[in-house]
Structure 1
Amino acid sequence: MDTTEEDIQRPDPPVVGKVNHHSIELYWDMKNTHQRKVPSNKFIFTIEEEDDKTHAYGTIYSGYSQQHLVKGLEPGTNYRFRLKVTGRNGKYAYSPVVSVATTREPMSGEHFHRAVNMNDEATVLSILQTGYKKINVPDKLGFSPLMVAAQRGFLRLVELLVDHGADINQENGSGKNSLMLACFAGHLDVVEYLRKQGVSWDSRDKSGCTAMHWAADGGHLKVIQWMINDGCKVDVKDSGLHWTPLMRVGAITGNTDVAECLVNAGAEVNAKDKDGKTPLMVATLNNHEDLVRFLIQRGADCSITNEYGISIAKMAKAFNRQNVVGVLEDMKEEIRTYLETGV
């Protein structure tokens, strides 16, 4: 037997190859073992890793290969490895320990969105200060970080994102921007801030709706009052059904306070959509009896018919809106007086 095999000399530590945030490449060759006269397949190579708590070593690879990729590691963590070379006669020797750290996990849009969703201001600021460039990358639902912060009412995050270059006019898949989302959710402080940054009331989503349409859907009176005072139009029609914000109130919330705010600001109570329906008809179909009563009191014309010639009374009966039928019966005298005098 060759004496070189009998007397295993201490090998050099494994050489560190490619390193990323979850793996470390280690390799070695016969030159590293100093056993140059013996073929590599006469040795068994073992890579052992130190446990950072017990400081004991455990085997993570053993065989004839001269390289090993250590996987499943934690980002930004230090690891210690040593090489064990064993001859056919069972004799072995250990190399000195090599210490190597994985890299930090690369920042992704998912991580950034998670921090925004959690309102984790410190983490968001820390990421932004590293020069993170993907500040406008949307999540799986098509919402940018700014949209998420605006919808959730995280004013400080909204300010941070805008200060670091977030696009205030960016739209999601349906065409809604951060201002529309804040209006719908009722976050007045965010609405005020975005307006100061220059977001326009005239922006429309893909269905032609403005921020006022979405504010009406949300039913937040203080937001709507502020929007009106800031010059937002109350009677714009969308591009689909040709609905005004007042019609949206009739379709969704039935909120009479919001309706009164809109009417006081000039919303037309007898406006017609593409099918000839008025806000009164929309409110009737959705059985909002208090809103029906309010609209009639504010001049809604019960004699108007839709494109099929159907009046409000016939519509209420046809769709079995008994509450509205009762309102129309109770207000019959008021309706008659209005039709005769216009007052």
Structure 2
Amino acid sequence: MGCTFPFSSATQRLLQLDEEQLDQWKYAWRIRPQYHHSEHSLSPVGQGCQNSRLEPLECRDLLVQNALFTGDLEMVQKYFTKSAAINLIIETKGDELRWTSRKFVPMAQVELANGGAVLEMCKEPRAGQSITGRGDKSQEPICTRKADGSAQVYWQALLTGDEGTVAEILSDLQNDLSPNAVFDTSDLEEWKNYRFNFRRLTPLHITASRGYTDCLQLLLLRGAAVNFAPGGKTALQGACAAASTDCVRLLLRFGADPEAVSEDGYKPLHLCKSPDSIECVQQLLQHGASVNSRTEEEDDTALHIAARHGLTDHVQLLLRYGAELEAKNEEGQTPLNAACAQPHQPQDMDRYYQVCQLLVESGASINAADRDRQHPLHLACKNANAQVAELLLAWGANVNVMNYSGNTALHNILQATAYKLEHHPELVVRALLNYGAIRIWPGSLLKVLQYCHTCPRVIEALMNSYEHVRVTEDWVEAVPAEVVQKYPHFYQSLFSLEQRPRSLQHLARCTLRTFLEGRLLLVLSQLHLPSALHRFLLLSFEDILY
């Protein structure tokens, strides 16, 4: 076969079989390529390693498995010599180790069956190309937890952006360090957590993700592989995630692939999730990144991601480059749905309003439903964003449409009131009622009081939408004493309705609102009413019932 394994006798006998016998083997399982998601796949050593793969051999040698599983580099070096076969499948029963590798791919992977832990091992690079060192020296990754000497100095220099030290180390022919060195930052003591703990970094990844432009340029000029992705992500993806604009510009100038797909299924454009990454988006689009490319699992476009993170400038830029307004992701959400669905803090409400306004004014469908038949209005009400809710209502959103659970937008805001007090949910309730939302059945108001008593203005808006509601002693028991003490005037006025009718002024308001139902806002905008009367008809808050 032209290659040998210094394995145990069982494996040696296996490897002595001729090619005719090998062709008859049936492999029970084969791991899919980790770095080849699309035509812009992430080749770990660039783009010259995609040809001439050997068919994997099957190996059940426990010594090999143990060496790989425990990360015993000494034993791995012993087993995997330069002349050893690269293509192997190691398979065991149950939730134990499985391992596969491919010729010319410098990273072999050890993987637990059924989605278990992952660890990696560096393999031999192509002839004439160095991955972690120079010449014929050892090519294993540098474990940062155990590194010393020049390797430790190199690591610290990369972390701090010390260009002078990096240049000095790379110029020293006595050491075994190169621009394509691989740093292993995983903790081998916590093998059960490899899936979350495992990381592979190169000098290019470190400097790009930390914004060290001078060091990055030095490494690129020294021949660092710009698309090398030992940990499943390129340096460009790291720079985009960190919003390192100058590094993104430099990497693209040196030929970084703007369409490279990470092992998680993200392209660089999908990783621009912070306000500071707007220039990164601009650079990627100018260098040929597809504005409508999708993530592999969520099926999100860059517009989905920008809308979900409330990034107005990103949304505007993506729309200018032709982003699809009505593209739906795996959950059936459009970018407008995604923006409305994203929970956010009160201080971010204005940002999300601006994003939604931009999408709506650009032609986004205000009644687009996701797989659960949640409309943008349902989602905005779940997040208690009154600005967005009023925007959608003003553009004609159906105020009474139901989702699969049978809930309307009013149901959603009432369910969210107790934990969205800082968002002022009463503003959403009032807007929905003024736009003709079907009111809660009066018999359910006691239940609403039990859930929403911490926001008395929600109760006020609901009570003022009825001519009369029967208040009983149960209502008094439904409100905790501490809440009554916090809002004494309102709750005293509410409980007193058990003994007295509503005022004539309130009854007149209800009569007029009933008469103008469905066209209240349109008619009032055409009437020159005193501002106080106008506010009263639209359920202005007075913190008391009469």
TM over 0.5: yes
TM superposition shift of 1:330: 4.1
Letter in 1 for 2:318: M
> Are the structure 2 counterparts of residues 320 and 183 from structure 1 closer, same or farther at C-alpha, using a change threshold of 3 Å?
closer
Query: Does residue 190 in structure 1 map to residue 280 in structure 2?
Result: yes
Q: Identity over the aligned pairs, expressed in percent?
A: 23
Q: Unaligned stretches of 5+ in structure 2?
A: 1-146, 154-172, 183-200, 419-424, 437-512, 524-546
Q: 1:61-114 CA deviation, whole Å, 9 max, x = no partner?
A: xxxxxxxxxx9654699xxxxxxxxxxxxxxxxxxxxxxx84252441432222
> Are the structure 2 counterparts of residues 126 and 301 from structure 1 closer, same or farther at C-alpha, using a change threshold of 3 Å?
same
Letter in 2 for 1:129: L
The corresponding residue for 2:431 is 327
Letter in 1 for 2:326: D
Which of the residues 202, 210, 231 maps onto 2:301?
A: 210
On the 8 A contact 1:186/1:220 being kept in 2, the answer is: no
Query: Does residue 103 in structure 1 map to residue 175 in structure 2?
Result: yes
Query: Does residue 226 in structure 1 map to residue 317 in structure 2?
Result: yes
Letter in 2 for 1:326: R
The corresponding residue for 1:266 is 363
For 2:152 and 2:432, the matched residues in 1 are separated by: 72
> Are the structure 2 counterparts of residues 335 and 154 from structure 1 closer, same or farther at C-alpha, using a change threshold of 3 Å?
farther
TM superposition shift of 1:137: 1.4
TM-score by length of 2: 0.41
Other structure's SS at 1:325 match: helix
Query: Does residue 126 in structure 1 map to residue 223 in structure 2?
Result: no
Other structure's SS at 1:187 match: helix
Other structure's SS at 1:162 match: helix
TM superposition shift of 1:136: 2.9
Matches for 1:251-262 after TM superposition, within 5 Å? 251-252=341-342, 253=344, 254=349, 255-262=352-359
More strand by share: 1
On the 8 A contact 1:276/1:307 being kept in 2, the answer is: yes
> Are the structure 2 counterparts of residues 129 and 294 from structure 1 closer, same or farther at C-alpha, using a change threshold of 3 Å?
same
TM-score by length of 1: 0.63
For 1:154 and 1:325, the matched residues in 2 are separated by: 43
Q: Is 128-137 or 314-323 further displaced after alignment? A: 314-323
TM superposition shift of 1:338: 8.6
On the 8 A contact 1:285/1:319 being kept in 2, the answer is: yes
Aligned-CA RMSD value: 3.1
For 1:73 and 1:152, the matched residues in 2 are separated by: 29
For 1:307 and 1:340, the matched residues in 2 are separated by: 31
Letter in 1 for 2:429: V
> Are the structure 2 counterparts of residues 188 and 335 from structure 1 closer, same or farther at C-alpha, using a change threshold of 3 Å?
farther
Query: Does residue 311 in structure 1 map to residue 401 in structure 2?
Result: no
Task: Count residues in correspondence.
Answer: 246
Letter in 1 for 2:252: V
Q: Unaligned stretches of 5+ in structure 1?
A: 1-70, 78-100
> Are the structure 2 counterparts of residues 76 and 187 from structure 1 closer, same or farther at C-alpha, using a change threshold of 3 Å?
closer
Letter in 2 for 1:193: Q
**Considering only CA atoms, is the larger Rg found in Structure 1 or Structure 2?**
1
For 1:260 and 1:75, the matched residues in 2 are separated by: 53
Matches for 1:1-343 after TM superposition, within 5 Å? 73-74=149-150, 102-107=174-179, 108-109=181-182, 110=201, 111-133=203-225, 135-137=227-229, 139=231, 142-182=232-272, 184-205=274-295, 206-239=297-330, 241-252=331-342, 253=344, 254=349, 255-320=352-417, 322-323=425-426, 324-332=428-436, 336-337=518-519
More helix by share: 2
TM superposition shift of 1:339: 11
For 2:148 and 2:265, the matched residues in 1 are separated by: 41
> Are the structure 2 counterparts of residues 314 and 271 from structure 1 closer, same or farther at C-alpha, using a change threshold of 3 Å?
same
For 2:309 and 2:416, the matched residues in 1 are separated by: 26
For 1:289 and 1:281, the matched residues in 2 are separated by: 12
Letter in 2 for 1:217: R
Letter in 2 for 1:238: N
